[in-house]
Amino acid sequence: MSKLQSYLAERRSHLGNGNLHFLASSAAAAPFEAWLYDSDYLPAQVGVVILAQPFLPEHPFRPARPILDASVEARLYTVIGVRMPDPQRAYFDAGPSRTANPNMAIHLIQVGDPRCVPNEDNWIYSQTWCQHAATVGWSEDLAVEVFREYVTHDLAAAERRVQEFMANNGNARPDQLCECIDLKPDCPILQGTWTAHEEGSLTICITGLGCETDPIDGTLSKALAQSGCEITWIDDAMGVSVTRRATLVGNAITIPPQDFVIPQPGTTMQENAVSGTGTVYADRIVMNAQGVARGSGQGLTFNINASTTTTWTGNKPKYALRGIVTVTSGPALNAFDVLYGLEGTIPLRLRMNNGRIAVEATPGRYTVRLEQTGYTFSPASQTLDVQGNTELVPFVATPNQATGITAQRQGNGLAIHFVGKLESADSIEGPYNVISNSSSPFSVTFEKEKQFYRVSP
C-alpha cells in the first residue's frame, strides 16, 4: 500500500462513522485524485466539498471513476467546482466535476476570461497558467469563507457564501485576474503597471488677458491596458480623466489624433487634438506628444498648446518567442517541454501541447532547448537576442531508436541479442566503446574475468 493510501486509510479509521467536515482539493492532486475522493477512504457523509480544477481521474494508478461516488453525501448538498474557462480547462485535461450521486448538485464557478482561447493566433501559454493559478486561488478564498460559516453549524450562511461567489451568473466577480492579450506578430506586450514621468510645458493664451506658460513635471503610477496592438491608459486632461490610446507597430508607437481637452458646456472648439509618437526600448517607453486646443466660450477666446515627453519605467515590454517543431519520421510531436531563460538564470520549463512554441520573453539574451522522452532535437539548443517578437529556427525532432539487450548461455560463452549499438567496457562505470561491425546475436567467449555490455541508440 502506498504512503498516500496508508494516510487515507488512517484518516478513515480516525473518523470512524463520523463526518469529514471539509474536503478541499487543488489542481496538484492529479495523480491521486481518485484516491482522495474514494469512498473506501471517506466517511459516508462529508460536510463541504471544494474542488479546484479537478483533473480527469483517469491515470495509471486507478481506473476512471466519478468524483465522490453514490455512497458519499455532502451536508451542504453541493460540490463546488472552481474552474477556469473551458478552452483553458480542456488544454490542461482538467476534467468536469462529476459525481455518481444524482442528488449532489454541482455549482461551477468560472474564473478568468473565456475569450483567451488556446490557439496559435492569440494565445500565450503563460496566460493560461495564470488562469489556472487564479482558479486555485479562488478556491482557497472560497474554502476559507465557506468553512468559517460551516464550523459554526450555519449551513445557510455557508450556502450564502457560495452564492456570493457565484453572483455573476456562475462566474467569479467580473474583475478578471488574467487578461487575454491578442498577441500579434508585429507588436510587443506592454500591458501592466508602469511609472510614468511626464515633463514639458503648457501655454494658455486668452484674448485680452495675455499668455502664461507653466512647466509640466510629474510622476504617477499608471496602468497600460492592451488589446491586440492598441494600448490605452488614463490621462489627466486639465483636471478631467480621459482615456488615451496609441497603436504599436514593432517598437514604434503612434498616438493618433484624439481630443486634447474636454470642452465645458457652451464652449465652441475650432481645434482640439493631441497626437504624437513614441518608441519601446528594452527597459522603458518614451512618448512625445503635442496638443492644441482653440475655441471660445463665455465671451472669451482661448488658445492652449502643450508639448510633453513621458518616460514609462518600472516594467519591461514582453515579446513573443515563437517556433515550430518538425519530426523526421512518425506522427507530429504535439507535446514537449520548452526550457528557456535569460543567460545566467535558471531556465523556466513550460509544457507545450499544441506542437508549437509560444512563450513570452522580456528583452535579453535567451537560451532555448526542448526535451521530450524518446526524441532527440536538432539543434540541441538555440541562443538568441530578444529585442522584439522573435522566431526560432525550426527544431527538428528525431525519434530515438528503440534499444534493448538480452543474453543467454551459448556453450562456453554468451549469445547477446540487442537492438541499437553494442558497447563494452572492463568495468561497470566504463568507459564504454562501441563494438565495430557487431550484429545481433553477438557471440562472446569467456576470455576475461569480467566484461560489461550495454546498448545505446
For residues 425 and 118, which has the higher predicted lDDT (pLDDT)?
A: 425
**Mean per-residue pLDDT for 71-98?**
57
For residues 149 and 384, which has the higher predicted lDDT (pLDDT)?
A: 384
- Based on the fold, state whether residues 45 and 119 are members of the same structural domain: yes
- Looking at residue 318, the DSSP 8-state letter turns out to be B
Single residue among 313, 337, 353 that ends a domain in this structure: 313
pLDDT at res. 422: 87
C-alpha neighbours within 13 Å on the C-beta side of residue 101: 21
Listed residue (139, 160, 133, 141) closest to 149, CA to CA = 160
Q: What are the distances in angstroms from CA 428 to CA 414, 423, 425?
A: 18, 12, 7
- Based on the fold, state whether residues 16 and 120 are members of the same structural domain: yes
pLDDT band for position 244 (cuts 50, 70, 90)? very high
Percent of the chain beyond pLDDT 70?
61
Rounded to 5°, the CA angle 164-170-171 comes to 85
Q: Is the pLDDT of residue 273 over 70?
A: yes
- Based on the fold, state whether residues 152 and 295 are members of the same structural domain: no
Residue 181 belongs to a domain = no
| Segments forming the whole domain that contains residue 238 | 192-313
- Based on the fold, state whether residues 243 and 377 are members of the same structural domain: no
Single residue among 313, 336, 361 that ends a domain in this structure: 313
- Based on the fold, state whether residues 278 and 356 are members of the same structural domain: no
Number of residues assigned to the chain: 457
pLDDT at res. 239: 77
- Based on the fold, state whether residues 103 and 13 are members of the same structural domain: yes
Q: Which of 78-87, 112-121, 174-183 bottoms out in mean pLDDT, i.e. has the lowest?
A: 174-183
Q: Is the pLDDT of residue 442 over 80?
A: yes
Residue 119 belongs to a domain = yes
- Based on the fold, state whether residues 426 and 373 are members of the same structural domain: no
Are the C-beta atoms of residues 280 and 287 closer than 8 Å to each other?
A: no
Q: Is the pLDDT of residue 236 over 70?
A: yes
Single residue among 275, 290, 313 that ends a domain in this structure: 313
Residue 374 belongs to a domain = yes
Residue 40 belongs to a domain = yes
Residue 344 belongs to a domain = yes
pLDDT tens, position by position, 112-132: 555 555 544 444 455 555 556
Query: 1-22 burial, b if ≥16 CB within 10 A, otherwise e?
Result: eeeeeeebeeebeeeeeeebeb
- CATH number (domain holding residue 204): 2.40.160
pLDDT band for position 61 (cuts 50, 70, 90)? very low
Burial of 97 (0-12, 13-18, 19+ CB in 10 A): buried
- Based on the fold, state whether residues 239 and 256 are members of the same structural domain: yes
**Mean per-residue pLDDT for 259-282?**
91
Q: Which residue is it, cell 476559507?
A: 144
Residue 186 belongs to a domain = no
- Based on the fold, state whether residues 303 and 323 are members of the same structural domain: no
- Based on the fold, state whether residues 67 and 48 are members of the same structural domain: yes
Predicted TM-score of the model (pTM): 0.52
Residue 213 belongs to a domain = yes
**Mean per-residue pLDDT for 337-361?**
82
Mean pLDDT across the chain: 75
Are the C-beta atoms of residues 388 and 188 closer than 8 Å to each other?
A: yes
Residue 187 belongs to a domain = no
- Based on the fold, state whether residues 13 and 160 are members of the same structural domain: yes
- Based on the fold, state whether residues 264 and 205 are members of the same structural domain: yes
Instruction: Count up the domains in the chain and report the number.
Output: 4
Are the C-beta atoms of residues 280 and 302 closer than 8 Å to each other?
A: no
**Mean per-residue pLDDT for 149-159?**
72
Q: Is the pLDDT of residue 286 over 90?
A: yes
For residues 172 and 199, which has the higher predicted lDDT (pLDDT)?
A: 199
Q: Is the pLDDT of residue 276 over 70?
A: yes
**Mean per-residue pLDDT for 305-327?**
91
Q: Is the pLDDT of residue 243 over 70?
A: yes
Q: Is the pLDDT of residue 301 over 90?
A: yes
